[in-house]
Structure 1
Amino acid sequence: MNLSARKFNLAIFLLVICSEISLAQQSNLKPLIITIDTKKQAQTIDNFGAAGCWYAEGIGKFWPTQKKERIAELLFSQERDEKGNPKGIGLSAWRFNIGGGTTEQGDNSGIKEVNRRVESFLNSDGTYDWSKQAGYTWFLKKAKNYGVEKLIAFSNTPPVQMTKNNLGYKTEKDYRSNLKPDQYEAYTNFLTEVLQHYEKEGLRFNYISPVNEPQWDWTGKFGEAKQEGSPWRNDEIAQVVKSLDNALEKKKLTSQIILPEAAKLTFLYRDTTHSSRQVQQFFGKNSSLNLSTLKHLPKLVVGHSYFTDEGDSATVAIRAQLADTVSKYGVQFWQSEYSMLADGFREGMKGRRSGMDCGLFLAKIIHQDVTVANAAAWQFWNAFEPGKPDFDTRYYLIALQPNANYTDGEFYATKNLWALGHYSLFIRPGMHRLVITRNDNLSPVAAAQKVMVSSFADATGKLVVVAINYEMEARNLQLNVKNYSSGAVYKRYVTTAAAADNLKPYPAGKISQAITLPPRSITTLVIQK
């Protein structure tokens, strides 16, 4: 070994030693004490999920069995390997896109990217072809086989035969639905025919969403449109939901309707667009659009967290206002679509953000949606898309690198996948979020750059604690769990920037002992009485 190599190795050795000394010193700092009262419950969790849109078709239909089986395992499995590492993130909800028929139109659909066109089960002669959307259905079956508790069907556009322009998106910027005025009953009959078919196949949809992001105009120049979509005014949403409720009743289906899939959280409680103040409009006592008496409509509003993540203060304020509004109107809130469409995830930094930076930011948004907005469900868009796994992984859980025809390719799990898994794998449907207090008395805004903690419990008394250490230094966490034995033992799962630290099992311990949170990490503790 030459002198330069020796010096280099010595420098690395000293760096490692110094890092370990520094970590040991920091772990002796005064801990953050989190007090959990198991009797103080907040919202009941319905699910954590993701959408399998667009690229599910090619993967499910064409990709080699071993590859697509592993993708399904990453998304749905709750099992561990022989070393205790989770095989997947155990999603408890899966969103299935009911297509509008733009695939069959080919280039005449006007949608530029082939993979964003979607088949329709409805033929032009009014008959149904249940062989369509085979790739989507493959993933739906896998979700069911893995025990995913909640299946959700959603529609971005009515079938093209029913739209005003015979396209899956708008060409006239009038912010009105693209559905022909005389086709409401036909559209909702189509949706319920799809639900009924899958139910006969043993794939019952728990929820059906008939409109999506109604605030956008969804217009596009022919040949350059990005995807299927339609705007909807509040009165049009009310009309389609009433028709859908009636169609579900006629077919004796038990699926529940979720609405309105607001494009931003603020549209649910404020703003002045054609489809704003949707909590007040659909659940206000004196509103002419009140839908609260419909049999298949739960007291629930669903919105998307896109474009509401620019800075911690605004992020928290928007969610606090939403929580206040839904509480006043006696409804629940779900967050059903989020990825880093805006640049909030960069947090003022220039250049690319690492996969771990993205994963931490994702965990932060989940935390704020669940603890500030009181979201009873949280779902990511999109499960898989083309991209790289190491930097700016803003749009996907699994990065795809497909071949030219999307019939095969490679795939990579991102830190986003594992960040969501810290919630989805451990916080199961029916668990309650618990109210916590912290000895540093930091507000949600201040804690967003330090350590964020949330806690959940099931009926057996099992606790789940998720701690996000946003800091560059290790932090100590001490749990003070009321009505709980101090001798209770926790299992610990950690994700860091290290390649192997993906929900990795770390040493267990007693809750009476302080727990070290590595720098820039996510930790889930599972505690059984």
Structure 2
Amino acid sequence: MVSIFKILFPLTVSILLSFAKTIRIRTVFVDPNDRWQVVEGWGTSLAWWANKIGGYPDDIRNHIADLVFDVNKGLGLNVIRYNIGGGDNPDHNHMRPGGAVPGFLPCEICSYNWTTDANQKWILFAAQKRGANIFEAVSFSPPYWMTYSNCSSGSKHGTIDNLNVQYYDTFADYLTNIVEWFNNNGLIFRTLAPFNEPSSNWWKANGSQEGCHFACSTINRIIKQVGIYLKDKGLSNQTSISAADEYSTDSEVNIIKCIDSDAKLYISQYNTHAYHGKKSKELFHLSQLDGKRLWMSEFGLQVSQDMSASINLSEQILNDMRNLKSAAWVYWQAVDEVAVNSWGLIGVNYSDTNILKNNLGFYGFAQYTKFIRPGYQIITSNDHDTLAACSPDNQTIVLVCTNKNNITEVWNLNVSIFNINSFKAFRTSNNNETLTNLTIIPNITDGILTYFNPAYSITTWIFSLAIPI
């Protein structure tokens, strides 16, 4: 026996040392007493996929609507950004597929055409039927005939305002008339966003999508004029202004600092895109100082055949929910054409309505959207790759845990503070797991749940509590 022990002991130590070198171990602590923002929801922009999908055969468009908006059949997105089309010059043909969103006022002497944009409107109301409850109207550009370039994709060089100064009032009237029409037809936009990445210099004539540069002085004037029209039309009790949907948190901070106090009276919400920037925390503090709701209103990335896009998506959500502390998080293109540079969580082919594929990003996003529901409150965790949330009734704790590394990790979830009745887990990974309900999960021992977290994976834990916290 002594000789066997002498052989086995060094061998065991060697195996453990080798294991320790290849396996990372981390411990996650959660503090339900340190509470952050209440989640309003998860969302998507309807530009531009709804302009195409809304015209699909009824069974297919309903199926796609279920996948995007129904929480039982799909993602359950409840925050919807509707694109108020400016409408491009009818002599032009340069927009990307779906990008030529029709405007409601095709020319200066025309009457409003309320039957236009039928495809996007179908998706909008389909979302409402499936439980979506927060709606925002967003303008990317004024109608082409209000612009200097006579084109709704931008000015000649992209660095100057494209909205003709003589149409400032007309543009404000246009936006608020559309909000009023939807209000009268059963759908209320809580916010109206008159700008989209307004300080960017890439909105040029004959581009692939609508866009318009606005100087800060112009932004101030438009906000005030839109606010006045909302009030005069009896809409201001239900619809207020959001601004400014800048490309980065840095640009958003700069714009907010140049918006004057009179204009800010009409603003209820700051919107930022999250493609770049290092000022998430500063932007959060600005929103708190000014008493404005804060959204991450646009982020998207190109799909991948493996988990890389899902991991990048998850890391962005973690950064925005933990540092920016946004109340809502909105994905750019929930649906897009299957292509090398596709943004879509769901891939389609606009030339063949039978082609439809849920990309891995769909399931990666679902790890958040299906379990951290509207009304849940983000709570503190010590781990930057974990998002923790508590249900409104304090009876459910959700942890979304992302392993962004290329090796399996051992995760110790310290849940000793909770009186847990039951728990379950779902995972998306490279191992043929797509929001898979894990049937073999470890027990909690001395308040610690220890599990192996596979490389490049997202695991969501749902704990039902016997005693509310």
Smaller-chain TM-score range? 0.7 to 0.9
Q: Is the 8 A contact 1:36 1:480 kept in 2?
A: yes
In structure 2, the residue matched to 1:94 is: 80
Taking the aligned partners of 2:26 and 2:158, their CA distance within structure 1 comes to 53
In structure 1, the residue matched to 2:275 is: 306
In structure 1, the residue matched to 2:299 is: 338
Q: Is the 8 A contact 2:403 2:456 kept in 1?
A: yes
In structure 2, the residue matched to 1:424 is: 369
Taking the aligned partners of 2:86 and 2:44, their CA distance within structure 1 comes to 20
Cα distance, 1:33 vs. partner? 2.5
Closer/same/farther in 2, CA of residues 290 and 479 from structure 1, 3 Å limit = farther
Cα distance, 1:136 vs. partner? 0.3
- 1:523 match: secondary structure: strand
Cα distance, 1:323 vs. partner? 3.9
In structure 1, the residue matched to 2:427 is: 494
Cα distance, 1:503 vs. partner? 1.4
1:165 corresponds, among 137, 149, 157, to 149
Q: Structure 1: give runs of 5+ residues left out of the alignment.
A: 1-20, 80-86, 270-276, 283-287, 309-316, 346-352, 439-443, 445-451
1:506 corresponds, among 438, 441, 445, to 438
Q: Structure 1, residues 204-224: CA drift from partner, whole Å, max 9, x if none?
A: 2222111111012344354xx
Cα distance, 1:40 vs. partner? 0.9
Cα distance, 1:231 vs. partner? 0.4
Q: Is the 8 A contact 1:264 1:306 kept in 2?
A: yes
- 2:234 match: secondary structure: coil
Q: Structure 2: give runs of 5+ residues left out of the alignment.
A: 1-14
* Bigger share in strand: 2
1:357 corresponds, among 285, 301, 308, to 308
Closer/same/farther in 2, CA of residues 467 and 161 from structure 1, 3 Å limit = same
What pairs up with 1:424-503 in 2 under 5 angstroms? Answer: 424-438=369-383, 444=384, 452-461=385-394, 462-481=396-415, 483-485=417-419, 487-499=420-432, 501-503=433-435
Question: How many residue pairs were aligned?
Answer: 440
What pairs up with 1:241-280 in 2 under 5 angstroms? Answer: 241-253=223-235, 254-269=238-253, 277-280=254-257
Cα distance, 1:267 vs. partner? 0.7
Cα distance, 1:354 vs. partner? 3.5
Q: Is the 8 A contact 2:203 2:213 kept in 1?
A: no
Taking the aligned partners of 2:429 and 2:123, their CA distance within structure 1 comes to 29
2:37 corresponds, among 29, 43, 54, to 43
In structure 1, the residue matched to 2:455 is: 519
What pairs up with 1:88-487 in 2 under 5 angstroms? Answer: 88-102=74-88, 105-106=89-90, 108-109=91-92, 111-113=94-96, 115-124=98-107, 125-173=109-157, 175-220=159-204, 222=206, 225-253=207-235, 254-269=238-253, 277-282=254-259, 288=260, 290-294=262-266, 297-298=267-268, 300-308=269-277, 317-327=278-288, 331-340=292-301, 354-388=305-339, 395-403=343-351, 408-438=353-383, 444=384, 452-461=385-394, 462-481=396-415, 483-485=417-419, 487=420
Letter in 1 for 2:411: L
Taking the aligned partners of 1:121 and 1:521, their CA distance within structure 2 comes to 45
- 1:91 match: secondary structure: coil
Taking the aligned partners of 1:250 and 1:70, their CA distance within structure 2 comes to 40
Q: Is the 8 A contact 1:154 1:210 kept in 2?
A: yes
Taking the aligned partners of 1:59 and 1:196, their CA distance within structure 2 comes to 25
Letter in 2 for 1:333: L
- 1:488 match: secondary structure: strand
Q: Structure 1, residues 258-289: CA drift from partner, whole Å, max 9, x if none?
A: 100002221123xxxxxxx123223xxxxx45
Taking the aligned partners of 1:187 and 1:329, their CA distance within structure 2 comes to 27
Taking the aligned partners of 1:49 and 1:174, their CA distance within structure 2 comes to 29
In structure 2, the residue matched to 1:73 is: 66
Q: Is the 8 A contact 1:264 1:307 kept in 2?
A: yes
Taking the aligned partners of 2:224 and 2:31, their CA distance within structure 1 comes to 42
Q: Structure 1, residues 356-412: CA drift from partner, whole Å, max 9, x if none?
A: 111111111111111122222211111222124xxx666221112231xx7x34121
What TM-score, normalized to structure 2? 0.86
Closer/same/farther in 2, CA of residues 481 and 114 from structure 1, 3 Å limit = closer
In structure 2, the residue matched to 1:272 is: none
Taking the aligned partners of 2:317 and 2:230, their CA distance within structure 1 comes to 32
Taking the aligned partners of 1:398 and 1:75, their CA distance within structure 2 comes to 9
Cα distance, 1:99 vs. partner? 0.6
Cα distance, 1:29 vs. partner? 7.1
- 2:152 match: secondary structure: coil
Q: Is the 8 A contact 1:464 1:527 kept in 2?
A: yes
Q: Is the 8 A contact 2:337 2:347 kept in 1?
A: yes
Cα distance, 1:182 vs. partner? 2.7
Taking the aligned partners of 1:220 and 1:37, their CA distance within structure 2 comes to 49
Taking the aligned partners of 1:394 and 1:242, their CA distance within structure 2 comes to 37
What pairs up with 1:3-82 in 2 under 5 angstroms? Answer: 32-61=26-55, 63-79=56-72
Taking the aligned partners of 1:44 and 1:281, their CA distance within structure 2 comes to 28
In structure 2, the residue matched to 1:311 is: none
Q: Is the 8 A contact 1:92 1:428 kept in 2?
A: no
State the identity as a percent: 23
